[in-house]
Every structure is written in structure tokens, then in C-alpha cells.
Amino acid sequence: MRSAAGRAEDVSNSKPLEVLARGGFAVSGVLHILVGLITFGLARGRGGRADVSGAVAELASQPAGPVLLWCSFAGCVALALWQAGDAIFDFERLPTKHKAGKKLQAAAQAVVYAGLAFTLAAFARGAGKDNRESTSDFTVNLMKAPGGVLLLVLIGAGVAVVGIIYAVRGFKKSFEKHINPPSTPGGRKAVTALGMAGYVAKGVALFVTGLLVVIATVTVHPEKSTGLDGGLRALREQPYGLYVLAAVGAGLICYGVFTVVRAKLAKM
């Protein structure tokens, strides 16, 4: 058993897996850029789905789309495995309370990238689904289950809290501890500016999405819980919403560029 665990740890820290995992960061960055462009387009009255499925659909529509999707799938699977390896094997020298938090964070990231890989594979196989419909269907079905309303409120509140955490990370620049900064002062300033704008914008998008889930659940209108795309569209209807939506779109593009850069600079 120990030898099997040792081999698994060696694989999770291997150079080939690291290279592929860094590619996963690049894939995430590209998808955030696409979501940001779609969001910016919504502010200008254009169509499109400002969520992961919309971004993946845009990627699939490019020349050699299936190849891009399967390569992106490989990168996200590798990054999910790398994060899972961190959750299982790393942080052992930290104090117990800090170790648990770090492991939980790595495990959550592994789940996120595994879900992204699943979406990419679904589109590559021609089985992609509108994320607004799937989110709404999930909400309706969960509300019918025992304790489903409470669980949905907790999920929405959790997403909103994650949004706040992202925004705080942006303002405090705490994302810098996860990267090896560029050697030049100009490069460091550019990466920091991208990170700040990106984390704050993503925080706003997640907060609005989580808030919309809570409101839809409390008012018993589950069809209004339409994920990130629905949250951003709801944001557009608020006072000065077009300007805020455009700013969020630009920020998501910044986050995407930062994440692409992180593919090279990330501490693995």
C-alpha cells in the first residue's frame, strides 16, 4: 500500500504532468477571455451565452475545434490530477488548521477543473448543453427534494461568499503568493494589475450569480436561477448596469490573460 501511494505521489509531481497541468491554466485563461468578450458583447446589445458552455461553444466553432477541445480536455484533466495530488500528499508540514484549509482548497480546485474537463469532453462528443437550461433544471429538481430549498440557499450563499473572497484577493493582491513574479519591474506591475482587475471582476460575477440563486429560491422562482449567464444578464438590468457589465467583461478578460500568464509563472 505504501509503495502504491509513493508511486501515485511521484506521478502527481512528475514533470510531464506539470507541463500538462500548466496547459490547464492556459485553457482556463482562454475560456475566461471568451466569457469576458461575450459579457462585453452583452453590454453592447449582442447575443451569446456568458458562461462556460458559451465559451466552450465558441472554442468548438473555431477551425480544428475538436482538436482544440480534446487538447483542452487533456490540460484540464492534468490540472485536476495535480490539484488532487496536492490535496492528498502536500501541506503535511503545516499546522493542522492551516493544512486542512489548504487541502480543502486544492480539492475544490480539483473538482472545478474536473468539471471543466467534463464540459469540454461533452462538447467534443457533440453532447454540449446550454448551461442556463441545465442550471435551471437542477434548481427545479433540487427544490422538490427534502431539504432542497435550504440546500439551494446554502449553495447560493456559498457562491456569493466565494465571489467576495475573489474580490478580497484582488484588492489585497494575495494571488501574488501563488506565482513567481516576472523579473522586470514593468512585468511585475502588469501582472499585478491584471490579477487585481481580474479577481475583482470574477468576484463580482460570482457574487451576483450566488445572490440570484438565493433570490430565486426564496421567491420560489427556480427558473430565474440560470447560472453565470443569467446573473450577468440580471446585472445588465440594474441602474448603470450596462457600464458595470462592460467593466465586469473587461475584468474577466484581464483575469483570463492573468491565468494564461499564470500557466508559466505558477508555483507548482
Alpha helices in the chain (DSSP H): 2-12, 15-43, 52-60, 65-89, 96-124, 131-144, 148-172, 185-218, 227-236, 241-265
For range 196-205, the mean pLDDT:
92
Looking at every residue in the chain, the average pLDDT score rounds to 81
pLDDT in tens, 57-85: 888 888 888 899 999 999 999 999 998 88
For range 146-168, the mean pLDDT:
84
For range 220-226, the mean pLDDT:
56
Q: How many CB atoms neighbour CB 250 within 10 A?
A: 18
pLDDT computed for residue 224 by the predictor: 54
> How far apart are the C-alpha atoms of 153 and 139, rounded to whole Å?
11
Residue 183 has pLDDT above 90, yes or no: no
Q: In percent, how much of the chain has pLDDT > 70?
A: 80
pLDDT computed for residue 17 by the predictor: 87
pLDDT computed for residue 234 by the predictor: 73
pLDDT computed for residue 138 by the predictor: 58
Residue 240 has pLDDT above 90, yes or no: no
- Whether the CB-CB separation of 216 and 125 falls below 8 Å is answered with no
- pLDDT-based confidence at 11, cuts 50/70/90? low
pLDDT in tens, 83-112: 888 888 766 666 666 677 778 888 888 998
- pLDDT-based confidence at 256, cuts 50/70/90? very high
166 contact partners, CB below 8 Å, separation of at least 6: 199, 200, 202, 203, 206
pLDDT computed for residue 260 by the predictor: 93
